Amino acid sequence: MPELPEVETVAGDLKKVLVGKTIKSIISFDKKTFVTSLPSLRRAALGHKIIDVRRRAKMLIIDFGKHLLVVHLKMTGQLIFQSNKKLIAGGHPIVSTGTTVPNKFTRLVFTLRDGGSPRFGEAGTLYFNDIRKFGWVKAIKADEFSVIDNAYGHEPFDKALTFEKFLSLINRRLRTSIKAALLDQKLVVGLGNIYVDEVLFKAGVRPARLVKTLTLSEKKKIYLAIPVILKKAILKRGTTFSNFRDGAGQKGNFVAYLKVYGRAGKVCKNCGQLIKKIRLAGRGTHFCPNCQK
DNA sequence: GTACTTGTTGAACG
DNA sequence: TCGTTCAACAAGTA
């Protein structure tokens, strides 16, 4: 389940290998995988050189200059680059899906060549896999990106997201739970179910608390916990990564640092009480009844 | 077989 | 209009 740290990791890894390469061909195995039609996907990308790969919210952006491919992995999407025997992968764990590409979950295949000239040979393949077909790929003109961009809120590491700004944002959701407010990508982007639970544990606030009941001090703790949790997760290369090949060094390690998520019925690492799980905002929600007030 | 999982959207609600 | 909740999507896992 890629949230911000996972997408950030994938974007960084792919940037290293994709920049400078040119899309040679695009093959589709599933029309549902992209919002954009295959012909316009090809128009935007074929023969164009990749100049950057980056992240915005939980989206991956492959930048061709005049055009962009915008990729959302949603829950089970993977982007896998293969060159010779080397795999660079990111997204949903590949436990049950086998370790080879393409496989039955492969939706799109991009073949690449080095540099801009057709005289260069193939230089790897980029696979877009998605088990549940929630993910998508859009091709847009660069100057149309603001339409997508404007639908999302602040980046959690953006200096523009001051505490005052954060307050004014969550104060728009006074009658909802703090969990629902933090999941809302129109306020602050990048937090999904896992990291919201972790942020609220670190802040010592129960997920079900309504925003209007929070003290200023609690809001400050939440505000401060967001970048701490996310940065640590990025450092550990995310929570849900899995090795695609031995020794690839791609395994996400943050799962070992999770304090509440997925630990229902286990003892709190902080106080020893049992972690509780409830259903909130339509999501499984984990917290420590002792550490979180 | 059934319940459960999740990011995002859009419908339905008050 | 606004804020909020909830179903829907898909398919693998327990």
Contact present, A139 and A48 (Cβ < 8 Å): no
pLDDT category at A48 given cuts 50, 70, 90 is very high
pLDDT category at A139 given cuts 50, 70, 90 is confident
Contact present, A271 and A213 (Cβ < 8 Å): no
Query: Does residue A183 approach strand B to less than 7 Å at its CB?
Result: yes
How many percent of chain A have pLDDT more than 90? 28
Whether omega for the bond prior to residue A93 falls within 30 degrees of 0, making it cis, is no
pLDDT category at A250 given cuts 50, 70, 90 is very low
Distance A133 CA to C9 C1' (A): 9
Domain with CATH 1.10.8.50 in chain A: 163-287
Distance A176 CA to C6 C1' (A): 14
Distances in Å between the Cα of A207 and the Cα atoms of A155, A172, A194, A230, A279 are: 21, 17, 12, 18, 10
Q: Specify the residue for token string 């991009």.
A: A110
Query: Does residue A99 approach strand C to less than 7 Å at its CB?
Result: no
CATH number belonging to domain A4-141: 3.20.190.10
Distance A41 CA to C1 C1' (A): 37
* Architecture of the domain defined by A163-287: Orthogonal Bundle (1.10)
Domain with CATH 3.20.190.10 in chain A: 4-141
